[in-house]
Amino acid sequence: MSPQYPKDRLVYDRIFSLFGERFLGNGLVTVCNHEHWHKQRRIMDPAFSRTYLIGLMETFNEKAEELMEKLEEMADGKKEFSMLSMMCRVTMDIIAKVAFGFELNALSDDQMPLPHAVTMVLEGLTKSRIPLIQYMPGKQKLIKEVRESVRLLRRVGKECIDRRREALQNGKEATLDILTQILKGDALEETRDDENILDNFMTFFVAG
């Protein structure tokens, strides 16, 4: 019943970084200061309004149609493929488009590295609970790949943020999506903290 939603700092500090690479940092999930969380949460609200979500149906339907076409191609009754992978890819295409305004095409491009990167960071998150895993000889390849995946996701996030910021500076109309709300929040804070903006990109991208 409390409006405070207290968070255990010990738990959330552990996902600030993943094997030494900044991961969710001080994003909406991990920030433990209630006042700071509440301010960010209020800024994000419009991107989850019913009216805005109804307006996204066209994108949801378009990506669902693409998935059906892809499944039709593959449904020859002979070869096996992973439905989990297909659903992850279509979901990723949707979150990229509706939250951050970019076309990812993960569904049509099997070589697209982002789905694998997300799988790796989630696996890293699970494995990071094992004490001293970083020092186990057999786990070094996994840890290296998790770190590279975190770096890749944050690099993509930075490119995405820079593009949107440039578009807004050039007078392009702001889309009411999560990325715009993240940038609005940063403008209100007047800190221009790019790392913090990236934390929220990571939070919504991985959660999505």
Cβ atoms of 201 and 161 within 8 Å: the answer is yes
Residue 109, phi then psi, degrees to nearest 5: -110, 100
Q: Are 200 and 28 in contact (CB under 8 A)?
A: yes
Instruction: Count CB neighbours of 6 within 10 A.
Output: 8
Question: How far apart (Å, rounded) are the C-alpha atoms in residues 64 and 121?
Answer: 26
What does residue 187 show for φ and ψ, rounded to 5 degrees?
-65, -40
Q: What is the CATH number of the domain that holds 35?
A: 1.10.630.10
Residue 1 lies in a domain: no
Per-residue pLDDT of the chain (208 residues; tens, 9 = 90+): 677 778 888 889 889 999 999 999 999 999 998 888 888 888 888 888 898 889 899 999 999 999 999 999 888 888 888 898 899 899 999 999 999 988 999 988 888 899 899 999 999 999 988 888 888 888 899 999 999 999 999 999 999 999 998 888 888 887 878 898 888 877 777 667 788 889 999 999 998 8
Q: Rounded CA gap, 22 and 199, in Å?
A: 8
Number of domains present in the structure of the chain: 1
Structural domain boundaries, residue 93: 9-207
Answer whether residue 2 is part of any domain: no
Report the predicted TM-score, pTM, of the whole model to 2 decimal places.
0.86
Would you call 17 helix, strand, or coil by DSSP?
strand
